[in-house]
Structure 1
């Protein structure tokens, strides 16, 4: 198995000048106020660990698993110290020493076996109504009564047929003119697991937008998980397997498409940034990944910069009224890792009034599999703060190009009794297109 080089914790610990710039916006420090669970605290502890001054015991394991990997510290560090990568690396060491919880192993097994996962979600969709009911907006489910572990948390709805299984693999939306030499545009869709199974309306919205633009679509049906959940948990064997599989699959069709669109911030950051980093010890794999990257985009990034969608939305009936308002939450993996935040706003502002919240860049608190399962009390505290920011805007919708953020914030808003629905930006754009078509009929 190839993975990124082992980091010299001591060298990076010595490079930290302890300036404290990482503290004000650190997600975990913001709720704990404890130096041990802060970026410079993590780095200092890792240095002490390499000096054999502290053991990698259950106490330090707990500390390193409280990081949300929001990367805020990396973006503000004057020395650009890779705190997030250090945490990912030490979690691999933790997994090697303590193993991975059985339920995480089951989850990661499903991520590697798409057909088994399809069957699991189909069974879940059949039996979940016994325990769960739809939320008022129909996009999520909530327990009918308090359940062990789950309590009254809100989750993404489960459907008996995933997005990838709901449509043909090749969808032709272009109006090709044989008298011209121009070739119609064609994009592939990497949908992401949550949007494939829980929020399939996002993929459907993207298809409507592509149809409106006359861009052919390829549903890359043999895709597997991007590997982000396993990566953030320390299961590098799973990560290695998924990256190698997906790279080979992407290579099989990359020459026939203009781009691969990813309407999911976490998946996009994993593929665009972490695949190559993970394979640092395998130059052949790195070269193969680098060859794919120029054609891989977050969905709004491609639609805003490579199509005429923004101009088209500006012409639609009712765009001057902007009767509905939105507030936009910046997913950490979009803004801090990929630098993508202007593009979705530029598209949405054509038809909606944008109301910025106090800190759109603040982490929602999803934090990954371990935070969501073993340390959910931390996610609740962060989510509550963000939900109150959203409520203060009094917007009609909150939007973000990330289904992990969607699941976390939908629950946080539900717990705070804040009736502001969450919509993916593609859903909001598709709704404008649908309304215009209805009005013309």
Structure 2
């Protein structure tokens, strides 16, 4: 990537600065989109070195793409940051605790075993909270998850995390689910829904059953590679991406489409894989990635655009539960998905908008969560305040990374609002006995 060319294209208008997630909590020119570009150009020209201070600056970007959205020239600052993180990983290496996570995400069979042990042992390190019943008003303030008893690189004391499941979603179900339908959808579940938020994945199956659509769980799928991409582990991205592309090409010969309940995974498969291979100079793979992307969709988008789901929901009883919606950065900004989940939710629930649904929740990826947790939490608390002020009982977003971040922020803010994926709420609405 030509950092100098990108920096020269920036006219320094400053429209990006008020929208920048990191600049909002660290108002320094170096941590602003145009500051990033100036530093990248200086690095490219050999005027500065990638020292530890530069590393901290480039790792502080949340990759929320707010700057890209408002830039008159739509300069891809996020792609530039992703590219320099590869250089950082080569120079400084990747911390051992991040290597472990990235390795496990690359090796699902090993992760299956680790998850089973983790399920048994998690009570030693965490205080497990009781599951939530959203239909019980007295339980509306309780979050499903576990709170850390002590600190580790990712696990900060008092931090709320979701509980591991004993058996992953993919291992709980047969590969092909026949709902007597005329068409079959492929299902890319995503790592977080596979091991933590299995209610989200199961809700997709319930919705597909109601719509009489068959589901192929595509059990040879591997991680989308987003955590590796954002951390600079490009070797792993290439391995995972090529496996998925080859597998999807084969599967899409008989599938209507592939649906994904995770905004980050969907954006990686839909948008970032093509960018990645172009950055690597592998144009043939970029073309293959672009070709399959037309058949990969966020689940709510597909259900809204291509099925009778909304009509079916309108026939169900409306519930006196108030919702608000957070737009994941990888859904609205990168894929243009924001109307569809709202319309599906409005059919059965009272709906209110928060002050700024577009504001980043502050997840920011593995490095942000491990090395800069204080910054992530600062952003998250701003989002939690917006959610509280909306007056909603439940906040929803089609992204488990947002779910993890927002749930913890709400917990730290002592909020009574809970988080649910829109697919879970839609499945509940379809099942009248659930209320």
Task: Output the CA distance in 2 between the equivalents of 1:215 and 1:148.
Answer: 43
User: Cα deviation per residue 1:298-346 (whole Å; 9 max; x = unaligned)?
Assistant: 0000000000000110011x23xx4111000000000011111000001
1:165 match: secondary structure: helix
Give the structure 2 partner of residue 161 of structure 1: 167
Deviation at 1:92, TM superposition (A): 0.5
> 1:309 is matched with which residue?
309
Q: Following the alignment from structure 1 to structure 2, what is the Cα–Cα distance between the partners of residues 389 and 302?
A: 29
In the alignment, which residue of structure 1 is the partner of 2:235? 237
**Residue of structure 1 equivalent to 2:140:** none
In the other structure, the counterpart of 1:269 is: 267
Q: For 2:427, which of 419, 427, 430 is the aligned residue?
A: 430
The aligned residue for residue 293 of structure 1 is 293
Q: CA deviation at 1:286?
A: 2.4
Does 2:372 align with 1:375?
A: yes
Partner Cα separation in structure 2 for residue 430 and residue 324 of structure 1: 15
1:142 to 142, 146, 152: 146
Match of 2:328 among 327, 331, 347: 331
**Per-residue displacement from partner, 1:29-79 (whole Å, max 9, x unpaired)?**
010111110101101111122222211111111100000000000000011
Q: Output aligned runs, 1:38-53, within 5 Å.
A: 38-53=32-47
Deviations along 1:66-99, whole A, 9 cap, x unmatched? Answer: 0000000000001111100000000011111111
Residues in 2 aligned to 1:144 and 1:103: alpha-carbon distance in whole angstroms? 17
Normalised by the length of structure 1, the TM-score is 0.93
59, 68, 75: which is aligned to 2:62? 68
Kindly indicate whether the alpha-carbon contact (under 8 Å) linking 1:190 and 1:261 is maintained by their aligned counterparts in 2. yes
Deviations 1:264-323 (A, max 9, x none): 00000000001111112223222322332221110000000000000110011x23xx41
Residues of 2 paired with 1:293 and 1:264: CA distance?
15
Aligned residues: 421
- Give distance in 2, aligned partners of 1:47 and 1:37: 15
**TM-score, normalised relative to structure 2:** 0.94
Native 8 Å contact 1:189 1:219 kept in 2 = yes
- Root-mean-square deviation (CA), in Å? 1.3
Report the equivalent of 1:247: 245
Distance in 2, matches of 1:235 and 1:313, equals: 43
CA drift of 1:136 comes to 4.1
TM-superposed CA distance for 1:14, in Å, is 1.5
Which position in structure 2 is the counterpart of 1:419?
A: 416
After TM superposition, give the deviation of residue 438 of structure 1 in Å.
5.9
Cα contact 1:387–1:413 (8 A) shared by 2? yes
* 2:110 is the alignment partner of 1:116: yes
- Aligned partner of 1:3 in structure 2 is none
Secondary structure, counterpart of 1:364 in structure 2: coil
SS of structure 1 residue aligned to 2:287: helix
Partner residue of 1:151 out of 147, 157, 161: 157
Say yes or no: does 1:404 pair with 2:387: no
SS of structure 1 residue aligned to 2:50: coil
Determine if contact 1:132/1:141 at 8 Å carries over to the other structure: no
Question: Is the CA contact (8 Å cut-off) linking 1:142 and 1:152 kept in structure 2?
Answer: no
User: Is residue 221 of structure 2 the alignment partner of residue 223 of structure 1?
Assistant: yes
C-alpha contact 2:148 2:157 (8 A) present in aligned 1: no
* Rounded Cα–Cα distance in structure 1 between residues aligned with 2:249 and 2:4: 39
The answer to whether the aligner puts 1:395 opposite 2:392 as a matched pair is yes
User: Could you tell me how far apart the structure 1 residues matched to 2:267 and 2:201 are?
Assistant: 18
Q: 1:11 aligns with which of 5, 9, 27?
A: 5
Unaligned runs of 5+ in 1: 1-6, 176-183
Within 2, Cα distance between the matches of 1:19 and 1:291? 36
Unaligned ranges ≥5, structure 2: 133-142
